[in-house]
Amino acid sequence: EVERIRELGKHTFEVARRLARGTAPYAGTSPRSTQRAIEMLVRAGVVEEVPGVSAHTTGRWRLVDPLLRTYLAALAP
């Protein structure tokens, strides 16, 4: 699963790590490229939108697999 995310690109992998950590995925990056990265993660079945959460909230997206979320969150920067 991690290799599949890496294959999506460095920026997409970093966005997945940020989502796993619960930090803002858009911080310090191009909003357009970050949105594309999130869309790729959604299409890959790695990330899902949290229902009922405002579009302007950090917790709008989450990793589907809790073990993958824990692993990505623990990776060194």
Q: Is the pLDDT of residue 19 over 90?
A: yes
Q: pLDDT tens for residues 30-70? A: 999 999 999 999 999 999 998 877 766 666 899 999 999 99
Q: How many CA atoms lie within 13 A of 57 on its CB side?
A: 11
pTM above 0.75, yes or no: yes
**Strands of 1-77, DSSP E:** 47-49, 61-63
User: Which domains occur in the chain, in start order?
Assistant: 2-74 (1.10.10)
What pLDDT sits at residue 48? 94
